């Protein structure tokens, strides 16, 4: 464990407070979305912290901020350490951000120890994990993974600005998006530390945990069509889209719960949205997650049958558009092992293994390299809320564990410059 001067847990928490001030919302509320003024401002500030930690920095073709510390020679494959700097509306100050700032501090420790590694270290501060602005999650990490889809350029934000236009306004060139993609042979692996966003570590009185896998999520926009009409219309003549949507939303919860999946309806709009008019149309979102893609997809079929039944009974019609799909991602046995070793180095000899119900950049990066994740306890499991909270003691442990995990990857990696080593790891 490093005893050299480096950014402390207390300083990392101060940095989280400072980044929380870069927000498009008033009254201390946090919202920082992709390709916004605040995105540019935090990239500039965090780049400065990366350089202080000894890294060379650049912004990639998708607006992700990258910092690199070379290994014992220039141009070696890199172990990526990352998380995101964007937020949901009315966010907490640690989701994603703590992982980025901790990774920078760990690189700083290793740099100041003078130890040369058989691979480079790179910190990636992903620009859009949450999908708040364009409704598509993981845009930053999907650009890095080379899984960008051209149809995304036409996505629009709530003001009708297309993703393509937002790139141009930010000074990025859409035609260069492929430059952000990394090749598997350039990578040693990817490690991410993140707040848990669940109560299980707290329940077990543990500061840290090792992630086994990350839920695969599918998101849909569901529209129910009825007929608007005067609120004096008798019940038997109504075709009330909101009453149908309400039945459907409660049924979704029941169905998903009994299958031990997680379903969330977090957005709903009603037309024409007047107190004395029967709702003629309702649009709502569905975020459906599970440990196994096949079970999640089976339950989506059950939900579709339920929607058809409810709509038939109420003389309504429904349709859906899928807005996001990410397969469940497993952490590799090797990187689960190094995260567990890291946690053991902090004194917890029985690291707790957790399945992540939240989505993370790691799931996109899993397409091109092996991934490992560490969770940090967050108070009450509260996240995506201003009350998100972590303790300084836990952050200090997380730094020690993450540093030890990176060094465990070193121990586990053949040295590409050592002639007796087997083939380099790609
Ligand atoms: C992101 O935090 C998600 O899980 O949707
Ligand atoms: Mn989040
Ligand atoms: Mn996150």
- Residue 99 in contact with ligand 1 by CB distance below 6 A: no
The 10s digit of each residue's pLDDT in 137-163 is 999 999 999 999 999 999 999 999 999
Copy the structure tokens of residue 334. 């090797």
Q: What does the mean pLDDT of the chain come to? A: 95
The 10s digit of each residue's pLDDT in 277-292 is 999 999 999 999 999 9
- Ligand 1, atom 5: closest residue by C-alpha: 359
Report how far ligand 1's centroid is from the alpha carbon of 293 (Å).
17
Evaluate whether 354 touches 193 at the Cβ level (below 8 Å): no
pLDDT at 412: 85
pLDDT at 425: 40
Strands 187-195 and 371-376, sheet pairing: parallel
Residue 321: C-alpha distances to residues 37, 162, 285, 324, 325 (Å): 30, 18, 10, 9, 11
Residue 166: C-alpha distances to residues 62, 140, 161, 354 (Å): 11, 14, 7, 37
The 10s digit of each residue's pLDDT in 110-130 is 999 999 999 999 999 999 999
Report how far ligand 3's centroid is from the alpha carbon of 374 (Å).
12
Evaluate whether 61 touches 82 at the Cβ level (below 8 Å): no
User: Which is the closest atom of ligand 1 to the Cα of 129?
Assistant: 1
Q: Is the pLDDT of residue 416 over 80?
A: no
Mean pLDDT across 168-193? 98
Report how far ligand 3's centroid is from the alpha carbon of 306 (Å).
32
The 10s digit of each residue's pLDDT in 42-96 is 999 999 999 999 999 999 999 999 999 999 999 999 999 999 999 999 999 999 9
- Residue 359 in contact with ligand 1 by CB distance below 6 A: yes
- Ligand 1, atom 1: closest residue by C-alpha: 359
CA dihedral in degrees (346, 397, 95, 256; nearest 10)?
40
- Residue 130 in contact with ligand 1 by CB distance below 6 A: yes
Mean pLDDT across 207-225? 97
Report how far ligand 1's centroid is from the alpha carbon of 309 (Å).
30
- Residue 157 in contact with ligand 1 by CB distance below 6 A: no
User: Which is the closest atom of ligand 1 to the Cα of 197?
Assistant: 2
Q: Is the pLDDT of residue 394 over 80?
A: yes
Mean pLDDT across 214-236? 97
pLDDT at 420: 54
User: Which is the closest atom of ligand 1 to the Cα of 130?
Assistant: 1
- Residue 107 in contact with ligand 1 by CB distance below 6 A: no
Copy the structure tokens of residue 30. 């946090």
Is residue 355 exposed (0-12), middle (13-18) or buried (19+ Cβ within 10 Å)? middle
Mutate to test the pocket of ligand 1, among 196, 363, 384 (most ligand atoms within 8 A of CB): 384
- Residue 362 in contact with ligand 1 by CB distance below 6 A: no
pTM of the model: 0.90
Report how far ligand 2's centroid is from the alpha carbon of 93 (Å).
10
pLDDT at 5: 64
User: Which is the closest atom of ligand 1 to the Cα of 358?
Assistant: 4
The 10s digit of each residue's pLDDT in 349-385 is 999 999 999 999 999 999 999 999 999 999 999 999 9
- Residue 86 in contact with ligand 1 by CB distance below 6 A: no
pLDDT at 414: 73
pLDDT at 413: 81
Mean pLDDT across 319-348? 96
Q: Which ligand is nearest to the CA of 262?
A: 1
- Residue 214 in contact with ligand 1 by CB distance below 6 A: no
**C-alpha–C-alpha distance, residues 313 and 156, integer Å:** 35
User: Which is the closest atom of ligand 1 to the Cα of 357?
Assistant: 4
Q: Which residue has the higher pLDDT, 419 or 318?
A: 318
Report how far ligand 2's centroid is from the alpha carbon of 98 (Å).
12
**C-alpha–C-alpha distance, residues 195 and 86, integer Å:** 15
422: confidence class by pLDDT, cuts 50, 70, 90? very low
Q: Is the pLDDT of residue 327 over 60?
A: yes
């Amino acid at each position: 464990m490093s005893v050299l001067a480096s950014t402390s847990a207390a300083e990392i928490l101060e940095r989280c407070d400072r980044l929380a001030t870069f927000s498009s919302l008033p009254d201390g509320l946090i919202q920082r979305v992709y390709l916004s003024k605040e995105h540019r401002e935090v990239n500039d500030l965090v780049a400065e912290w990366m350089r202080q930690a000894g890294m060379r920095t650049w912004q990639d073709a998708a607006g992700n901020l990258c910092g690199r510390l070379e290994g014992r020679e220039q141009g070696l494959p890199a172990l990526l350490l990352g998380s995101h700097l964007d937020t949901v509306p009315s966010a907490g100050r640690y989701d994603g951000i703590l992982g980025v700032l901790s990774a920078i501090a760990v690189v700083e420790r290793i740099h100041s120890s003078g130890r040369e590694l058989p691979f480079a270290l790179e910190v990636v501060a992903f620009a859009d994990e949450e999908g708040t602005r364009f409704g598509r999650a993981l845009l930053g990490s999907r650009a890095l993974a080379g899984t960008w889809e051209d149809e995304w350029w036409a996505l629009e934000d709530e003001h009708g600005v297309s993703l393509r236009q937002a790139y141009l306004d930010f000074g990025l060139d859409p035609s260069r998006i492929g430059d952000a993609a990394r090749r598997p042979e350039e990578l040693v692996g990817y490690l991410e530390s993140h707040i848990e966003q669940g109560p299980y570590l707290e329940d077990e009185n543990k500061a840290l945990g090792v992630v086994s896998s990350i839920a695969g999520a599918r998101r849909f926009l569901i529209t129910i069509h009825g007929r608007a009409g005067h609120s004096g219309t008798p019940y038997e003549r109504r075709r009330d889209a909101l009453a149908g949507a309400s039945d459907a939303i409660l049924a979704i919860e029941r169905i998903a719960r009994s299958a031990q999946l997680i379903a969330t309806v977090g957005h709903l709009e009603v037309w024409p949205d007047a107190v004395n008019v029967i709702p003629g149309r309702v649009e709502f979102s569905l975020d459906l997650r599970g440990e196994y893609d096949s079970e999640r997809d089976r339950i989506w079929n059950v939900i579709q049958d339920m929607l058809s039944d409810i709509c038939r009974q109420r003389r309504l019609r429904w349709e859906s558009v899928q807005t996001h799909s990410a397969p469940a991602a497993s952490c590799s046995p090797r990187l689960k092992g190094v995260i567990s070793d890291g946690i053991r180095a902090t004194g917890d000899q029985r690291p707790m293994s957790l399945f992540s119900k939240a989505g993370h950049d790691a799931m996109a990066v899993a397409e091109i390299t092996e991934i490992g994740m560490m969770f940090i306890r967050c108070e009450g499991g509260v996240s995506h809320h201003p009350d998100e909270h972590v303790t300084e003691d836990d952050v200090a442990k997380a730094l020690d564990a993450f540093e030890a995990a990176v060094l465990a990857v070193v121990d586990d990696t053949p040295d590409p410059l050592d002639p007796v080593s087997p083939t380099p790891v790609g």
